[in-house]
Amino acid sequence: MTRVIHTGDTHVGYQQYHVPERRQDFLDAFRRVVRDAIEGDVAAVVHAGDLFHDRRPTLSDIMGTLSVLEELAEADIPFLAVVGNHEAKRDAQWLDLYESLGLATRLDAEPTVVGNTAFYGLDFVPRSQREDLEYDFAAHDVDHAALVTHGLFQPFDYGDWDAGEILDQSSVAFDALLLGDNHDPGKQRIDETWVTYCGSTERASASEREDRGYNIVAFDGETRITRRGVDTREFVFVDVELGPEEGVERVRSRVGEHDVEDAVVIVGIDGDGDPIAPASVEEYALDAGALVARVTDHRELAADERETSVSFADPDDAVAERVRELGLSGAAQDIDETVRASKVADANVADTVEQRVQELVEEDPDSLTAADSAGDESVDGGLRDDEASDSDPSGGGPTAAEADGGQPTGTTGSDERPEQSADEGEDQSSMDQFLGGDD
C-alpha cells in the first residue's frame, strides 16, 4: 500500500486583509500539513499547485517554505509537486529552486515512483494552450498511477477543462487525478478513476467558510480517499437579518454572542432597518479582540440593483472581479498586474511596463489582442479561488481606490488603503539570484 497526503492551494505569502498575522497563518497551515505527514508516516506529500500566492514571494516567504520542506526532507518524505496558476513564472519556477536543493520533485510526464504508485504531473496550462496538449505520459511498471495537476476541471462546478477528456486521451491509465485550484474539496468518479480536489489549507477568501483540510489517498488494490482537517485561524461569520426597526445595536449584539478573540470576523447585513456605518461594527469587534473585522451591508447593494454580488468587505476581491469582467488578454492582465498590484515601486512602473510590452510583442505580436470573452485563460482567479494573483494586497493604487470609493461599498474604506511602499521593492527576491533564470 502507498499512502500519501494530497494537499495544495497553500498560498504562502498571501497577506490577507493586509495584516502580517494572516501572512504567517498561510505558512503555518503548510507546516501543520507537513508535520501531520511526518507524524502519520505517509509515503509522500503530493502538492497540486499554488504553493505560493503569487509569482513574487518575498525572501521570507521563500525561506519559511524552505524550512518546512527541510523538516519533511529530514523525515525522508518526498515532496512531489506541480506549478499552479498563481505562482507560475515564465521561465524557471520556484519549485525548481527547491528541487535543486533536493527538497522537492517537480512532477512531469515521466513517472516518479513511490511504493506501488507512479506519480505524474501536469502544471497549470492556460486555456488557449490546452488544445495542443497530447497527454502523452511515459509508461510505468507499478500497480497504480496518479496524475497531479492544477486547474478548474469538469465534472466539478465551474470546470473549464474536462478531466474525462484527459483520461480518454492519456497514454497512461490513472487510478486518481489529484487536483488543485478549486479551494473547495471534493471527489467524484469518472468510470474507474477518482477525481479529487484537496481544498485550500487556509481561507484565501471569506467565501471559504467550511473547515480547511487535505486528502489522504491510499493506493492498495483500490484507491481510497479520506479527509483530515487542518487547524486554522478562527473565522467568525455573523449573518444578520435586520427587522424594520432594528439597527446597529442589533448587529453589535449579534457579534457579541461570539468569542472573537484573535478571529477574523466577517459580518453580513441583510433585511430592513436603519442604515449602519460599518466602521462602528468593525470597531466593536476589534475592541472585543478580533484580529480583523469586515462588514458587508448587502442592503446597500440591493438598493443599487447590482446584478452581481460582490463582496466589498475586501476591496481586492472587488477589483479582481472587475478585472475579470473586462476580459483582458493574458498580456493585458500581466501589465495590469505590474501597474496596479505588483510590488514594483511606483517610480519604476513606467519603465517596467515598457519593458514588458516589448518582451510580449517580441514573444508574440498578437499577445496584446483582446481575449475572445471574459473568463478565458487570462482569468487568474474569479471562480477559481476568488483571489486572483492580481489582487496582491501590497499593491493597490488608483484602480483599487476607485473600486473602493466609487462603488456602494459596505466597508469603511479608510483602513483598507493598501500601503504602496517603495520599500517593499527591496524585499523582493528575484529567482535570478538563485537560478540565473530570466523572469
Catalytic residue among 86, 140, 144, 298: 86
Q: Are strands 222-229 and 213-220 parallel, antiparallel or unpaired?
A: antiparallel
Q: Which of residues 199-238 bind Mn ion (CB under 5 A)?
A: none
- Closer to Mn ion by Cβ: residue 201 or 407: 201
380 is a contact residue toward Mn ion (CB under 5 A): no
Q: Bridge partners of 149?
A: 122, 179
Q: Do residues 109 and 138 touch, judged by C-beta distance below 8 A?
A: yes
Tell me: is residue 11 an annotated ligand-binding position.
Answer: yes
- Contact window for Mn ion (CB under 5 A) among 6-14, 72-80, 392-400, 428-436: 6-14
Tell me: is residue 150 an annotated ligand-binding position.
Answer: yes
Closest distance to Mn ion from the beta carbon of 50 (Å) = 4
Tell me: is residue 9 an annotated ligand-binding position.
Answer: yes
CA distance linking residue 209 with residue 316, whole number of Å: 18
28 is a contact residue toward Mn ion (CB under 5 A): no
Q: What is the largest CA-CA distance in the chain?
A: 71
SS (H, E, C) 7-67: ECCCCECCCHHHCHHHHHHHHHHHHHHHHHHHHCCCCEEEECCCCECCCCCEHHHHHHHHH
Tell me: is residue 50 an annotated ligand-binding position.
Answer: yes
C-alpha distances in Å from residue 202, one per residue of 27, 126, 212, 258, 310 = 9, 25, 6, 21, 21
Tell me: is residue 144 an annotated ligand-binding position.
Answer: no
61 is a contact residue toward Mn ion (CB under 5 A): no
- Closer to Mn ion by Cβ: residue 11 or 298: 11
300 is a contact residue toward Mn ion (CB under 5 A): no
CA distance linking residue 171 with residue 167, whole number of Å: 9
9 is a contact residue toward Mn ion (CB under 5 A): yes
- Closer to Mn ion by Cβ: residue 17 or 52: 52
Residue 86 known to be catalytic: yes
Tell me: is residue 47 an annotated ligand-binding position.
Answer: no
Q: Do residues 300 and 415 touch, judged by C-beta distance below 8 A?
A: no
Cβ atoms < 10 Å from Cβ of 61: 24
390 is a contact residue toward Mn ion (CB under 5 A): no
- Of 338, 341, 429, nearest to 61 by C-alpha is 429
Closest distance to Mn ion from the beta carbon of 145 (Å) = 25
385, 390, 404, 416: which one contacts Mn ion (CB under 5 A)?
385
Contact string (CB under 5 A) for Mn ion, positions 36-55, x = contact? --------------x-----
**How far is CA 190 from its chain centroid?**
26
Tell me the binding residues: 9, 11, 50, 85, 150, 183
Tell me the binding residues for Mn(2+): 9, 11, 50, 85, 150, 183
Instruction: Cite the active site residues.
Output: 86
Question: Which parts of this chain interact with Mn ion (CB under 5 A)?
Answer: 9, 50, 385
